[in-house]
A and B are shown apart, each in its own frame.
Chain A
Amino acid sequence: GQSLEQPSEVTAVEGAIVQINCTYQTSGFYGLSWYQQHDGGAPTFLSYNALDGLEETGRFSSFLSRSDSYGYLLLQELQMKDSASYFCAVRDRAGGFKTIFGAGTRLFVKA
């Protein structure tokens, strides 16, 4: 079957660094994405990793290890506006490259 696991909640202080982990199990892994969703808003795309390694986009970085079926999202210089839910999502060859989302991690940034 297909499954993703990520922590339900993470709390961090403004200006700090936080890492949100995601482990996955799929039959035909193709790539790992991250989405951000603020309360009442739509999910927005943050990053995508198909190959092992770190991808950096401004304050956000995403890492993938295919051999460990593991990835993480790293948020640096946390700001209050980063308080949101973060979803990892796996693109799976099974069933026509559909995307499967994790349950989401709620990030609380404190002053």
Chain B
Amino acid sequence: DVKVTQSSRYLVKRTGEKVFLECVQDMDHENMFWYRQDPGLGLRLIYFSYDVKMKEKGDIPEGYSVSREKKERFSLILESASTNQTSMYLCASSPILADEQYFGPGTRLTVT
């Protein structure tokens, strides 16, 4: 079974802190994605990556950056956390030409 894990289920940070969210997949997938999910807005794509050291902006990249130094790991970085970044963050992976994305359990981030 494909497994996508995220470093934390719940996280509380203060405004202005630098926040790292880690995602690891164990199926050698080329594609990895970071989404945020907010009530009534569905899943919105923040960044995605097709390969190691490659990244593409999604629909809402402002205030975020990403890092993919190894194929299995995709990190989301909040450079200076703000209260409007309080949300559920979901990581996903997929093989390069596949349509099915496999999601991790999510990290519920609260910024106070």
The answer to whether A and B assemble together is yes
Residues of A within 8 A of B (CB): 8, 31, 33, 41-45, 48, 50, 87, 89, 91, 95-96, 98-104
Given A87-B42, A103-B41, verify A42-B105 contact (CB < 8 Å). Answer: yes
Chain B, residues 79-112, CB within 8 Å of chain A (1/0): the string is 0000000000010100000011111111000000
Minimal Cβ-Cβ distance residue in A for B105: A42
Q: Is B43 an interface residue (CB 8 A)?
A: yes
Residues of B within 8 A of A (CB): 33, 35, 40-45, 48, 50, 56, 58-59, 90, 92, 99-106
Name, among A44, A45, A89, A102, the residue most crowded by chain B CB atoms within 10 Å (CB to CB). A45
**Beta-carbon contact of B42 and A98 below 8 Å:** no
**Beta-carbon contact of B40 and A98 below 8 Å:** no
